[in-house]
Structure 1
């Protein structure tokens, strides 16, 4: 059995790479996790991030959008349609940018901490 150098989970997850070897891809498509690593053969079937990425994305995006909306209102007092346009496009854009890297980080952290599905039931 080949030994692998431990990978730092955060940069490895942000890049969407295999948490064991750092070479293979973690994702197949936008958010679908591959069945296994094409480089080292690590089985990804036990990996499950649950609602973690969605929670972190909603929290981060919500804070940014609300802070920007408050700043815009105090500084410029724009019409409501400007708020809706900025908040809507920023919410969708930031969510799409953040969800994949955050899911990769959570899956890599799950691997590096040897978390198991259903462990506390």
Structure 2
């Protein structure tokens, strides 16, 4: 009797795992989608651009026609940009100041340009990464139709 119940439990687990693996939402790997978004590409196909301008997300991918208007990136990319830039530039500022003691105007100019440049570089990439993350996890309307 226990052999029969073990077999039926095993078959039930297999059918559940097969059903979960064949669903469209389960096929979306998170890290490849985030990496494609970081590179500014569609999280689904990796070919079409995800952004229409500097920060404007396209309504749909021009290559695979995946709808992207569901995204809710909002202030997430700005918060991540501030976090990353602050954690890179603050120790750098301290190290440069204690090592070379440059004039304050020179120090301010160098780090101001560095902060602005790094922020402008990271902001669209992090927005694409967040859209890719939301797409991979099926958040905010990106879930597959049932």
Band of TM-score, shorter chain: 0.7 to 0.9
CA distance in 2, matches of 1:78, 1:102: 33
The aligned residue for residue 37 of structure 1 is 61
The aligned residue for residue 17 of structure 1 is 41
The aligned residue for residue 49 of structure 1 is 73
1:70 equivalenced with 2:94 (yes/no): yes
Q: Which structure's CA Rg is the greater one?
A: 2
Deviations along 1:64-117, whole A, 9 cap, x unmatched?
211111001110111110121011100100001111111111100000001116
**Unmatched 5+ residue regions in structure 2?**
1-23, 142-146
Deviations along 1:39-60, whole A, 9 cap, x unmatched?
1111111112011110111011
Structure ranking higher in helix proportion = 2
The aligned residue for residue 144 of structure 2 is none
The aligned residue for residue 58 of structure 1 is 82
The aligned residue for residue 19 of structure 2 is none
| Number of aligned residue pairs | 114
SS in 1 for 2:71: coil
